[in-house]
Amino acid sequence: MRFLLASNSPRRRELLKEVIAAFEVVPSRYEEAGKAGEKGSERALRFAEGKAEEVFSRFPDATVLGADTVVELDGAILGKPKTQAEAFSMLRALSGKTHSVFSGVCLVTPEGKRSGVEEARVTFRPLSDEEIRAYIATGSPMDKAGAYGIQDSGFVSALSGSYSCVVGLPLERVREYCKELHLC
């Protein structure tokens, strides 16, 4: 059976290789649209399910994995920055504070569906404006929720929860679902 990753994220591709040896990337056409008052955990799960179900509708004989990651600080969802100024604002807000990272996962097969969300708590050390500007200059923040990657920023002083959840694909949850559905 074909295994499809409904994401074009290079980080998710690398992580998934730790669980599934052979898979194909089929980016989802799901339209991500936030809802007023929605919590980060709800959005991450809804988007993960939407992505997986959209790809499954095109490949109903395959196994499809969808995922989405949301950063939430003090009840506010921080998405992917659209501008460098927005990235700066997000990183300034995260500086010296603890926030939540939610990664939703949805695995759809012809036999069934498993979905859920993981939370990790991340604490940033205090950041200088110069550090933030230098990081933004690398281009790395522009395709990441919350404008940072735990793997390349050097900003994290403490982590409670799954590292892979913060990167974008909670491997523990993916392994659990694959075992339940006899995929690995």
List, by residue number, the catalytic residues: 68
Both structure tokens of 9:
């994220």
DSSP the chain: --EEE----HHHHHHHTTT-SS-EE----------TT--HHHHHHHHHHHHHHHHHHH-TTSEEEEEEEEEEETTEEE---SSHHHHHHHHHHHTT-EEEEEEEEEEEETTEEEEEEEEEEEEEPP--HHHHHHHHHTTGGGGSGGG--TTT---EEEEES-HHHHHT--HHHHHHHHHHTT--
* CB atoms inside a 10 Å sphere around CB 37: 7
